[in-house]
Amino acid sequence: MQTETHPLLTSLNPEQQRAVVTTDGPVLVVAGPGSGKTRVLTHRIAWLLEQKEAPPESILAVTFTNKAANEMRERIRRLVSDTAASGLVMGTFHSLGVRILRQNPYRAEELIDLKPNFLIYDTADQLNVAKEAIIHERMDPKQIQPRRMLSGISHAKSEMKTPADVTNDAMSYDQELLARVYHEYERRLRDLNAVDFDDLLTLPLRLFDADPRILEKYQAQFRYIHVDEYQDTNRVQYVMVTALAEVWQNLFVVGDPDQSIYAWRNADITNILNFQDDYPETIQINLELNYRSTGHIVQAADRLIRENRDRIDRPIRTMNPDGDMIMLRELSDQNHEASFIVDEIRRLTQSGRTRPDHVAVMYRTTAQSRVLEEAFRRSEVPYRIIGGLRFYERKEVKDILAFFKLLYNPADRIGLERIIDNTPIGRGFGPRAMEVLLDWAREHQRSPVDGLVSMAPSISPRFKDVSPPEITGSARKAAERIGATLAILQERREKSTLSELFDEIIEVSEYREQFRNGAEDDLQRWSNVQELRTDMERFDTLDPSEALTQYLESVSLVSDVDAMDEGDAGQVTLITLHSAKGLEFPVVFIAGVEEGLLPISRAIEAEPFDRKPLEEERRLFYVGVTRAERQLYLTCATSRISYGRFANSEPSRFLAGIPAEAMKSVTRRDSVGSARTGRFSGRQSGSLASRVQAPVSFDPPSSNEPMHVLPEFKVTQRVFHPKFGSGLITEVTELKNDVELAVEFQRHGKKRLMASLANLEIVES
C-alpha cells in the first residue's frame, strides 16, 4: 500500500500506523506507558487534516489537562501547518462543557436557568455553599461535614443523579441527609448564578435533553472524536462522548487500565473495559512496546503491576538497554530522605550529564512536599513545585479576584461576603447589616450589589423606584461607602482593560493597607497581588466585554499541571504522583515508598473488605515508576513526622514486586531500624530488598518514639545530617555519656556536633 510510505507514517511502528490510518469507526487503543500514544494521536489528527481533508472544527480531542491539549496542538502544527491546525477543538471535558454552555447562552438561560454571566465556583466556594446548605437544613456542620457532603454531591452528579434521584434512591439515613443538602446546595448555586466543576459536565447534557437540536448541531460538527486517558473518565463523560459520537461513530479512545488512578474521583474503569461491548465494530490496537524507559525500569514496572489481581494480563516490554539499576534507599526520617534526594540530584547535575529540569521528585501526598522544599531551599538546586496551594487559591489573590467576579456576576453573594470580611472596604459592615441586605435582595428580586449601590449617596436614577435596604446605625455609613465604590467600579468595568480595572480596585478598596507593615510574608502576599495584575495583562488586548469572561474562565479551569511553565526550565520538578500522569523525566525520585503513604493507610485499612483501593495505589506507584526514562530512585524513611508526631514506618509492600536483578538497595545501618526489628544488621547491602520480599509480617504497630541508640562512629566515615547534608568524620572524642564528633561537611564546612543530638546517619560506602 502506498500509505506505508507516507511521510506522516515513516516514524511509526506498524501498530501505531494502523491506529493512525484507521479513521472510520470506533477504535480502542490500549497504550502501555511510553508506547507513543501522544505520537499516535497527533499523527492521526494530522492525517485526518491532510489525507482526509477533514475541516479542523470537525475534529474534537479531549485530553486530561489543558496543557496536554496545548502541547498536542503545537505538535500537530509542526506536522501540518499553523493555519491547517487552527480551529481544532481540543481541551478537557470541563472546557468542552463550558464551551457548549457559552455557545448557547440564550437556550441555557431559558432551558436550564443559567444566566450567561455564570461563575465557576472552586472548591473553597463550593464548601461555603455546602456549609450554608447544611445549616439551612438545620444540621450541624461539625457533625455533617461539608467536605463529605460535597463528595457525595459530586458522586451523584458524576452519575447524573438529581437531588430527587438521590432522595428516591436513599437507602440510609446518611443518604437522606445527603439528598436534603444536595437539594439545597443546588438551589443556592442557581440563586448565585454559579456552577461547580461537575455542572460543567451535567448541564450541557441537560441542555441536550431539553433541546435535542443543540446536540444534533454538535453531533454533525464533530465527525472525528478522540478521547485520551479514557480509563479515567466517569459516567457523565462517558455519556457525553457517546452522545456526541452517535451519528458518525468515529470514536477513537486511548487509555491504559493499569494507569487508572482516579476511581476516587468517580472515574469508572468499565468505560474502557466495556468499550468493545458498546461498539461491537471496534478495532482494538494494543501498544505494548515501551520507547521511554530502560530495560530495568520496564521490567520492574511490568513485574510490580502483575501483582494486581483485578487486571487483564498485558505485558509491557522494551528494546532499550537495561541501563542503570533502580536505586532503593532507606533513610532514618523525612529530613534525611529530603537531604539525600537533594544531594543526589546535586551529584548528578554536577557531573554535567543531567540538568535539573531532567529530574522530578514525586510523592503521594502534598504534605510531603514541604520537607522536600525546605531541603531544596537550603541547597542551591533550583526547583519548582507543581500543585500544593494554587496561585489562584491564595487568599490575597482570591480577595482581589472576588471583586472581578462580583462585577461580572452581581449575584455572587459568596464573593461579596469575602470582600466585606477580608478587605478594608468592608469595615463596619457586620453580619447584622448583611442579613438586612440579603433580606432586601430576596424581597426585591435584585442582587445584593444592587442593594448596596442603591444606598450610595449620589446615585443613578436606576434605583428611583426602589427603596434602599434599611441598614441603620454605624453600618449605614459603611454600606453607603461600599455601594458608592461598587458603583464606580461597575461604571469603569464597561470601558477598562482588566489591568486598568485592577488598579482601580486596588485603589478604591485600599487593599494595600493590610500590607503596610512590611513583614516578610506581607511582602510575599503583596507580590502575589502584583503578579495577578501581570497575569491579567495577557487579556488586555481583548475587547473589555470579552476579556473578563475569558479571564475568569481561564482562572477557573487551569490545573496545576497547566500552570507548569515550560519557559522556566532548569529546575527540578516536585510533583504528586497523580499530577505526574502523562509526564516523563530522565531521572525520577519517588519519595516515601512506605506502608501508610504508598499505599496510603486508608487503602490498607480497606483491604480486608475491598481490594480495589489498594490496587489503585499500586497502579499509582506503577504510573510513578514508568515516568522515569533512565534513572529511578525509590526512597523511604524509617520514621516520619505526621500530624506533628513521630511514627515509624515500614518499606512499602509494593517493593516486593520489583525484581532483585533490577534494583540495588542501600540500607541504613544506624540502630533505629535494628532496635525496632532486630534483624537489620545492614552489613551487606540488599538486606532491605530481602526483607521487603519476604511476606509482610504482622508486627503490632510500634511505639510512637523511635529508640535512639547511638551508632558507632569512626574517623573517615561518611555521615548524613538532616540540615548540613553529607560529610566526613574527621575526629571522634569519647565523652562520659556521649560522643563528640568533628565533621567536614561538603557544603557547610567543618562542624563540631554531639552525636546524641545531631541525628546523624551513617552512609554505607
Q: Does 475 bind DNA (CB under 7 A)?
A: yes
CB of 101 to DNA, least distance (A): 15
DSSP 259: G
Kindly name the residue from 39, 398, 418, 627 that is annotated as catalytic: 627
Per the CB < 8 A criterion, the answer to whether 603 and 617 are in contact is: yes
Does the annotation count 390 as an active-site position? no
CB neighbour list of residue 101: distance below 8 Å, 6 or more residues apart? 108, 114, 118, 200, 203, 204, 207
Q: Closest approach of Cβ 92 to DNA, in Å?
A: 4
Three-state DSSP at 632 gives strand
* Residue whose CB is less far from DNA, 86 or 474: 474
Hunting for cell 493597607 — which residue is that?
513
Our finding on whether 481 is near DNA (CB under 7 A) is: no
* C-alpha–C-alpha distance, residues 708 and 671, integer Å: 7
Cis peptide before 599 (omega within 30 of 0): yes
Find the radius of gyration of the CA atoms of the chain: 29
d(CA 88, CA 460): 46
Q: Judged by CB under 7 A, which of 81, 123, 168, 460 binds DNA?
A: 123
23 has catalytic annotation: no
**DSSP H or E run through 61:** strand 59-62
CA distance 476 to 428: 9
Q: Are 251 and 27 in contact (CB under 8 A)?
A: yes
Angle at 191 between CA 187 and CA 195, to 5 degrees: 80
Strand residue runs (E) in 300-421:
317-318, 326-331, 359-363, 383-385
Rounded Cα distance between 484 and 490, Å, is: 10
Q: Shortest Cβ distance from residue 366 to DNA (Å)?
A: 4
Kindly tell me which residue out of 65, 202, 250, 485 binds DNA, with binding defined by CB under 7 A: 65
Which span (63-71, 79-87, 180-188, 405-413) binds DNA, by CB under 7 A? 63-71
Nearest to 115 by CA among 126, 104, 129: 104
The answer to whether residues 505 and 403 touch, using CB atoms and an 8 Å cutoff, is: yes
Shortest separation between residue 374's beta carbon and DNA, angstroms: 10
Binding mask 717-736 for DNA (x = CB under 7 A): --------------------
Give the neighbor-by-neighbor strand order of the sheet with 359-363.
383-385, 572-576, 359-363, 585-590, 628-637, 326-331, 663-666
Count of chain residues binding DNA (CB under 7 A):
44
Is there a contact between 291 and 34 (Cβ–Cβ < 8 Å)?
yes
Select which of 63, 219, 259, 299 is catalytic.
259
Nearest distance, CB of residue 534 and DNA, angstroms: 22
Catalytic pick from 22, 23, 38, 145?
A: 38
Q: Per-residue x/- mask for DNA, residues 302 to 341, rule CB under 7 A? A: ----------------------------------------
> Shortest approach of DNA to residue 559 CB, angstroms?
3
Per CB under 7 A, does 613 bind DNA? yes
Footprint of DNA on 644-703 (CB under 7 A) = 644
Among 641, 710, 735, 754, contact with DNA (rule: CB under 7 A)? 641
- 148-207: which residues touch DNA (CB under 7 A)? 197
259 is catalytic: yes
Q: Which of 259, 293, 332, 366 binds DNA (CB under 7 A)?
A: 366
The only residue of 4, 216, 246, 265 in contact with DNA, by rule CB under 7 A: 265
Closest separation in Å from C-beta 510 to DNA: 12
Nearer to DNA, 185 or 197 (CB): 197
Q: Which stretch binds DNA (CB under 7 A): 33-41, 50-58, 87-95, 451-459?
A: 87-95
Sign of CA dihedral 671, 673, 678, 683: negative
CB of 483 to DNA, least distance (A): 16
Half-sphere exposure of 740 (CA within 13 A, CB side): 5
Task: Give the residue with the Cβ less far from DNA, 251 or 603.
Answer: 603
The backbone torsions φ and ψ at residue 705, rounded to the nearest 5 degrees and listed phi first, read -95, 135
Q: Tell me the closest approach of the beta carbon of residue 576 to DNA, in angstroms.
A: 4
Q: Give a three-class secondary structure readout of 75-118.
A: HHHHHCCHHHHCCCEEECHHHHHHHHHHHCHHHHHHHHCCCCCC
- Tell me the three state secondary structure of residue 146: helix
Q: How far is the CB of 484 from DNA (least distance, A)?
A: 18
The answer to whether residues 528 and 397 touch, using CB atoms and an 8 Å cutoff, is yes
229: annotated active-site residue: yes
- Which x/- pattern, by CB under 7 A, does the window 550-589 give for DNA? -------x-xxxx-------------x-xx----------
* Catalytic (active site) residue 38: yes
- Choices 64-72, 177-185, 371-379, 497-505; region in contact with DNA by CB under 7 A: 64-72
Q: Which of 26, 152, 257, 387 binds DNA (CB under 7 A)?
A: 387
H or E stretch at 477: helix 474-495
Q: How far is the CB of 115 from DNA (least distance, A)?
A: 23
Q: How far is CA 163 from the centre of its chain?
A: 28
Residue 462: CB minimum distance to DNA, A:
27
Nearest to 44 by CA among 9, 87, 89, 81: 9
Q: What is the C-alpha to C-alpha distance for residues 709 and 697, in angstroms, rounded to an integer?
A: 24
Among candidate residues 37, 73, 161, 676, the one labeled active-site is 37
Q: Considering only residues 78, 147, 347, 512, which one is a binding residue for DNA as defined by CB under 7 A?
A: 147
CB of 473 to DNA, least distance (A): 8
Q: Considering the complex, state which of residue 561 and residue 662 has its C-beta at the smaller distance from DNA.
A: 561
Between 280 and 644, name the residue whose CB sits nearer to DNA: 644
Out of 37, 94, 398, 653, the only residue in the binding site for DNA (CB under 7 A) is 94
**Residue type at 528 in one-letter notation:** N
457 interacts with DNA by CB under 7 A: no
- Residue 370: enclosing H or E segment and its boundaries? helix 368-378
Task: Answer yes or no whether residue 517 interacts with DNA by CB under 7 A.
Answer: no
Q: Are 651 and 635 in contact (CB under 8 A)?
A: no
Tallying the residues shown for the chain, one arrives at 765
Catalytic residue (one of 186, 228, 302, 450): 228
Integer Cα distance of 15 and 28 in angstroms = 12
> Pairing mode, if any, of strands 585-590 and 359-363?
parallel
| Among the listed residues 541, 643, 714, 737, the single contact to DNA using CB under 7 A | 643
For the segment 417-446, give every residue that binds DNA (CB under 7 A). 426-433
Is residue 468 helix, strand or coil? coil
Taking the least distance from each CB to DNA, the nearer of 44 and 94 is 94
Is residue 37 flagged as an active site residue?
Answer: yes
Q: Which of 132, 199, 229, 504 is catalytic?
A: 229
State which residue, 609 or 643, has the beta carbon closest to DNA: 643
- Do 151 and 444 meet the contact criterion of CB atoms below 8 Å apart? no
Our CB check for DNA shows the closer of 569 and 641 to be 641
**Which residue stretch of 140-148, 204-212, 288-296, 346-354 sits at the interface with DNA (rule: CB under 7 A)?**
140-148
CA 618 centroid distance within chain: 19
576 or 665: CB nearest DNA: 576
Q: CB under 8 Å to 473, separation ≥6 — which residues?
A: none
Cβ burial 753-763 (10 Å sphere, 16+ → b, else e): bebeebbbbbb
Q: Which of 3, 249, 365, 545 binds DNA (CB under 7 A)?
A: 365
Binds DNA by CB under 7 A, chosen from 44, 188, 364, 627: 364
- Name the site residues for DNA (rule: CB under 7 A): 64-66, 92-94, 123, 141-142, 145, 147, 197, 264-265, 364-367, 387, 426-433, 474-475, 557, 559-562, 576, 578-579, 600, 602-603, 613, 641, 643-644
Residues labelled catalytic = 37-38, 228-229, 259, 627
